Amino acid sequence: MMLDRYRPRYHFMPLNNWMNDPNGTIYHEGYYHLFYQYNPYGDKWGHIHWGHAKSKDLVEWEHLPIALAPSTELGELHCFSGCAVYDGQQARIYYTSIGEGERNPATGAEQWMATSTDGLLTWTKHPGNPVLTSALHGGADIREWRDPFVWREDGTWFMVLGGAIEGKGCVAIYSSADSTQWSYLNLLYVDPDAALCECPLIYRSGDRYVLIYSPGGVVQYITGTIDDSYKLVPKAKGIVDYAGFDGYYAPNLLTDGEGRCVMFGWMPDEARGEFAEIAGWSGVQALPREISLTESGKLAMKPVSELGRLRETHVGERQLIHDREGAIADVSGRMMELSMELDLAGLGTSAFEVGVLRSADGREETRIAIEPTAGRITIDRSRSSLSPLPRRTPVTGNYEAPDGRLRLRIFVDHSTIEVFCNDTTCLSARVYPTLEDNGKVRLYGLQSLEPLTRFDAWPLSVAPSRQG
């Protein structure tokens, strides 16, 4: 199979067709397992199954047979998002089952379970499905009820599900002694500013909980505690990634054998608009991110260390050529990693920009811009593509630099850009440059290289098995 110029190489994606949310991410018997929303029949959303892949190292992935398919004989049309757990004897998938008519997503969603005893390769749907229905809520009218996430705590199983109540996004919480019979506890959280909360996750660090959810746009998180009535008591709030549908949505997470919490996320292709040069595939999984919780309650996020295996020849400060426009880095390509550190005091009020995927004539370029006085970082897509069809709106976020230094890591992979700033700010974007020579790197806004206290760059490669 020949890969087109926009198809990412070192990010995970199926061989073809549509992919969206990561599902059922779990570390089991030495492997990272990634399930995902998948349409085996085309490159548009529909006929949603669960695709499946596994990896020893989060870099090289082995494609596996489809894990879940809609049981049309039981009225299923789609297997929506969910999670996977292992109870020590049996692996279980929980997911939202969708049909038509009374089984529609708005008012008729059901939560189903499937089990596996052969290393997560084949799954049998529970004969007692559904394991949860909206009747659990009594008089509470929770709509768009979906995306179960399950964890165990002190011998009790808990589940959160997203939805909407009275026009506001909500996350409901449930408990079970045996992970099959469930009881409704409460509305864990209601977001007054969202119409819907999708794909809720719980990450626990000591006695603190982090609720992560996708409210139809930029993915949010809230750090806090859970009180005796099973309501979240917020202490801090933040943004997981400022992209939303422009580059990051519907994350899922797992805890691996080293105790790391690793988060996956979907990079939609919505930003390409009617750009017709891509066909046969849609959707990419973002780079796996290790997450942790800072003392202040901020979510810290960094790309997993295993990605270092992709690096080729190192380029550093000595390879920078300073000219009137800025500095040219002696590295090029559509697959690269850039890492740098800036002394913000040395920059003063000047904006600093990193141009990637730049054509030789400068007509195409995506810039990552730092505004020190505003504490703002932006992925500027105004010149990313000569085509007028892809989205050009900027992806903008805020960063904190309490020590006066800014640490920046940028990953480029053909049509994907992911930016990590001081470990607590992430921005992602999809871009679609059209020119053949589009792969240069340039730094702007430096009167001298002195504020740039560190600069590292690597072209990245992939194993032959990933070439397609």
* 394 three-state secondary structure: coil
Nearest to 245 by CA among 429, 9, 38: 429
Give every CB contact of residue 16 below 8 A, 6+ residues apart in sequence: 1, 43, 280, 281
> From CA 198, how far away is CA 242, in angstroms rounded?
16
Nearest to 365 by CA among 290, 273, 263, 438: 438
> From CA 266, how far away is CA 278, in angstroms rounded?
18
Provide the β-strand partners of residue 267: 284
* 431 three-state secondary structure: coil
> From CA 383, how far away is CA 364, in angstroms rounded?
5
456 is catalytic: no
* 157 three-state secondary structure: strand
Nearest to 23 by CA among 105, 70, 93, 81: 81
> From CA 126, how far away is CA 133, in angstroms rounded?
14
> From CA 132, how far away is CA 179, in angstroms rounded?
11
> From CA 51, how far away is CA 61, in angstroms rounded?
13
Please say whether the beta carbons of 166 and 174 come within 8 A.
no
> By CB neighbour count within 10 A (0-12 exposed, 13-18 middle, 19+ buried), where does 209 fall?
buried
Stated length of the chain: 468
DSSP 8-class letter at 193 = T
Beta pairing, strands 78-86 & 299-303:
unpaired
The one-letter amino acid at 450: E
Give every CB contact of residue 44 below 8 A, 6+ residues apart in sequence: 18, 282
Single out the catalytic residue among 4, 21, 43, 403. Answer: 21
Q: Catalytic site residues?
A: 21
